[in-house]
């Protein structure tokens, strides 16, 4: 039993999977932050365009 536990503790086959999960979560988090930033920025620009077009006369 002790030999089995030692072998299990030295086994690192799943370590790459954990690395990829963490890396993927970081990329998704950055993408969400980018979408939020772009959404907030575009809302301000669209409000400015709306104001300009409402006040524009022929």
Model pLDDT for residues 15-35, shown as the tens digit of each residue: 788 889 999 999 999 999 999
- pLDDT grade for 5, boundaries at 50, 70 and 90: confident
Segment 4-22 mean pLDDT: 83
- Residue 9: inside a domain, yes or no? no
d(CA 21, CA 51): 45
pLDDT of residue 30: 98
- Residue 8: inside a domain, yes or no? no
- Residue 38: inside a domain, yes or no? yes
- Residue 5: inside a domain, yes or no? no
Burial class (CB in 10 A: 0-12, 13-18, 19+), 49: exposed
Residue 45: give the domain boundaries.
14-55
- Residue 1: inside a domain, yes or no? no
pLDDT of residue 31: 97
- Residue 46: inside a domain, yes or no? yes
pTM to 2 decimal places: 0.56
- Residue 45: inside a domain, yes or no? yes
Number of domain units in the chain: 1
């Amino acid at each position: 039993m002790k030999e089995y536990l030692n072998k299990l503790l030295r086994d690192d086959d799943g370590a790459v999977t954990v690395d990829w999960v963490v890396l993927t979560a970081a990329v998704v988090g950055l993408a969400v932050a980018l979408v939020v930033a772009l959404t907030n920025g575009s809302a301000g620009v669209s409000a400015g365009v709306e104001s300009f077009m409402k006040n524009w006369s022929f």
